[in-house]
Amino acid sequence: MTKQPKPPVAPVKPVTNDYFGTKVTDNYRYMENFNDQQVQQWVKAQADDFFGNDPRIAKNDPRVAGILLGINTWTKFYSIYEYDSQTNQLTQIQLQPQGKYDALDDLVAQEIEVRSHDGTMIPLSIVHKKDIKLDGSNPC
């Protein structure tokens, strides 16, 4: 097993400020300067380490056929599916039991776009009961 490299450590660079006669030293205050090239390099290295080693982030492995997908919608709880590219099948994996309110069969979700005051189209999600009349007589 390959040993994972350690994440980058922020160098200590004391910065001392005087607050009404009280001197306060902060070893990492310099990190607030995002224009500093060394700070940018450190932040990038931290991000590379996080996204490269976090088990919650999917990794591609060409030796394994298929992928796992996590899907949730306005009317259905988060579910994990396995997609097999060889058979073109999508199968729900039962890692957690479905709860009482996890499949809201009496609700409908619609994704529409509405025009804003400046003409820009804005996405809008509308979730409502299946049997409701969408005639303006049912306010929120």
Q: What is the pLDDT of residue 36?
A: 83
130 backbone dihedrals φ, ψ, rounded to 5°: -55, -45
pTM, two decimal places: 0.42
Q: What is the pLDDT of residue 97?
A: 73
Listed in sequence order, the DSSP H helices in 3-139 are 37-53
* Residue 51: pLDDT band with limits 50, 70, 90: low
Q: What is the pLDDT of residue 62?
A: 57
The answer to whether 127 and 74 are in contact (CB under 8 A) is: yes
Q: What is the pLDDT of residue 22?
A: 93
pLDDT per residue over 104-129, tens digit each? 888 888 899 999 999 999 999 988 88
Q: What is the pLDDT of residue 14?
A: 92
Q: What is the pLDDT of residue 83?
A: 78
Q: Stretch 32-38: mean pLDDT, rounded?
A: 81
Who's near 134: CB < 8 A, 6+ residues apart? 128
Q: What is the pLDDT of residue 34?
A: 74
Distance CA 114, CA 118 (A): 11
| Extents of the domains making up the chain | 1-57
